[in-house]
């Protein structure tokens, strides 16, 4: 597909990296010449220096022949203007990043009136993911499919876990819960396991289950399944606003620590039920005075990764509660993962996954659609939700008889709202949605899982 990306900051670069791998014809637009030079030197893309909201610049990028324009500059208004011009000039699909809470209540209206294909808000998407973790604090990461009916949850196998040195078949017989362990991360290795796979202490596993069965599973293995009662959030930016709004509706008490007085006053007006503290969170005495020792959860959302890391490390020494750390610079994954930072949130990765999922759905052939795409295990595993349409090659065949490619697992079948954890005799039907977990990248159709 021919794609134009306007804005080459962190989220733009994250999108470029993923779409280049999938062999799309990409043109990038940015005002900064150094940024364009760096990207064109490192990636197989065409670069244009200029304002993406200019009709002449879009024309130079061949917008008339473009399938999709993605506008992710730092300005909501410029992003919307880019999409408006692209829609009028090229009649292409458009995606805009819109982050300002001012527009949050009008998103659907803006999308409909401007004819946008998608509006992405990385801060809100990240806030939703954090809220899931605080609802279910025993999980390191939670992703959802099938409109929330199916959950993918990550957890670590502790040394005292009853799963240690047990095969997955033995685990299944022991817990008697309708769940499926779909990935195991052990050191630098990733496995799509079969029933004979033996779990070890320290393994990071991902399970797929309905929301009800995942909670039952965690209860049976001795993990806490109750949402937190309160949280301390550091930083008063957009993500904090969105997260606090969600948590307050969930009945969770919220305390926000922010150094900037003007931001504190704004938060006090927009979040009257939250407790707002004007102070420097890097001062340990302030955190102790505000009750970090007894808080159920601690979320570090400042705009500086180093600050978030040190605050979360400090929190881990003071509370047994859930700790969540926001990371913006994703190029230091290997180092960051060596720290004990609780659950890590990468807003740019979350937003890029949404967009890549949409791109794959656009380009897919007859048979199935990629409804949802989520990256797992630091991006090394993909979980994809396919809509099964008439003519798909998997319909009506027991799973045990399907010849699947290596490192591919069918993790779940959603049949009109009924969640099925598949067995060998299970059969996929037209109209189902199917979750596929794989270490392979670039699947765009359900037929791609079948071995030649």
pLDDT of res. 367: 46
Residue 268 CB neighbour total at 10 angstroms: 14
> Cα 310 to chain center, whole Å?
24
Rounded CA-CA distance 97/5 in Å is 11
Global pTM? 0.82
Contact criterion met (CB below 8 Å) for 89 and 62 = no
CA-nearest of 429, 351, 401 to 5 is 351
Per-residue pLDDT of the chain (452 residues; tens, 9 = 90+): 899 999 999 899 989 998 998 889 999 999 999 999 999 999 999 999 999 999 999 999 999 999 999 999 999 999 999 999 999 888 899 999 999 888 887 888 888 888 898 999 999 999 999 999 998 888 888 888 877 788 889 888 888 888 899 999 998 888 777 889 999 999 889 999 988 999 999 899 999 988 788 888 887 777 767 889 999 999 999 999 999 999 999 999 999 999 999 999 999 999 999 999 999 999 999 999 999 999 999 999 999 999 999 999 999 999 999 999 999 876 666 677 777 788 899 898 888 888 888 887 776 544 446 777 888 887 789 998 898 988 889 999 999 999 999 899 999 999 988 899 998 899 999 999 999 999 988 788 888 899 87
> Cα 308 to chain center, whole Å?
19
Domains of the chain: 2-120 (3.40.50.720), 136-220 (3.30.70.1450), 230-345 (3.40.50.720), 363-449 (3.30.70.1450)
376 to each of 23, 122, 181, 427, how far by Cα in Å? 21, 17, 13, 26
Contact criterion met (CB below 8 Å) for 264 and 236 = yes
369 Cβ partners below 8 Å, 6+ apart?
361, 386, 387, 389
Beta bridge partners of 241: none
Rounded CA-CA distance 144/129 in Å is 9
- Token digits of residue 371: 């409804």
């Amino acid at each position: 597909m021919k794609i134009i990306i306007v804005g080459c900051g962190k989220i733009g670069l994250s999108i470029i990296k993923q779409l280049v791998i999938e062999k799309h014809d990409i043109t990038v637009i940015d005002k900064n010449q150094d940024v364009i030079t760096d990207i064109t030197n490192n990636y197989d893309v065409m670069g244009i220096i200029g304002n993406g909201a200019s009709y002449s610049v879009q024309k130079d990028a061949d917008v008339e022949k473009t399938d999709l324009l993605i506008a992710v500059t730092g300005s909501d208004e410029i992003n919307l203007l880019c999409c408006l011009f692209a829609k009028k000039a090229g009649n292409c699909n458009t995606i805009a990043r819109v982050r300002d809470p001012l527009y949050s209540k009008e998103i659907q209206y803006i999308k409909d009136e401007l004819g946008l294909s998608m509006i992405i808000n990385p801060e809100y998407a990240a806030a939703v993911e954090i809220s899931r973790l605080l609802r279910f604090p025993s999980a390191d990461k939670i992703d959802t499919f099938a409109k929330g009916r199916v959950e993918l949850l990550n957890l670590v196998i502790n040394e005292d876990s009853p799963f240690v040195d047990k095969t997955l078949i033995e685990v299944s017989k022991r817990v008697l819960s309708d769940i499926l362990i779909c990935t195991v991360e052990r050191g630098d290795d990733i496995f799509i396991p079969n029933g004979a796979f033996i779990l070890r202490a320290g393994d990071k596993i991902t399970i797929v289950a309905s929301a009800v069965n995942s909670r039952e599973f965690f209860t049976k293995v001795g993990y806490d399944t109750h949402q937190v009662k309160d949280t301390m959030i550091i930083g008063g930016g957009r993500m904090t606003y969105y997260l606090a709004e969600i948590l307050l509706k969930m009945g969770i008490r919220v305390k926000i620590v922010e150094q900037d007085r003007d931001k504190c006053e704004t938060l006090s007006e927009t979040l009257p039920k939250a407790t707002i503290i004007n102070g420097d969170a890097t001062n340990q005495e302030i955190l102790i005075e505000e009750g970090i020792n007894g808080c159920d959860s601690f979320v570090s959302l400042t705009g500086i990764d180093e600050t978030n890391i040190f605050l979360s490390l400090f929190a881990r020494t003071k509370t047994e509660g859930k700790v969540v750390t926001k990371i913006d610079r994703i190029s230091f994954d290997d180092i960051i993962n060596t720290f004990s930072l609780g659950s890590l949130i990468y807003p740019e990765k979350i937003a890029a996954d949404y967009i890549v999922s949409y791109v794959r759905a656009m380009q897919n052939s007859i048979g199935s659609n990629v409804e949802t795409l989520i990256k797992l295990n630091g991006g090394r595993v993909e979980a994809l939700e396919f809509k099964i349409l008439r003519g798909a090659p998997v319909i009506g065949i027991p799973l045990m008889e399907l010849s699947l490619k290596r490192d591919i697992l069918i993790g779940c079948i959603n049949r009109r709202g009924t969640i099925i954890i598949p067995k060998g005799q299970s059969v996929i039907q037209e109209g189902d949605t199917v979750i596929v977990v794989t270490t392979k990248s670039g699947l765009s159709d359900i037929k791609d899982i079948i071995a030649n």
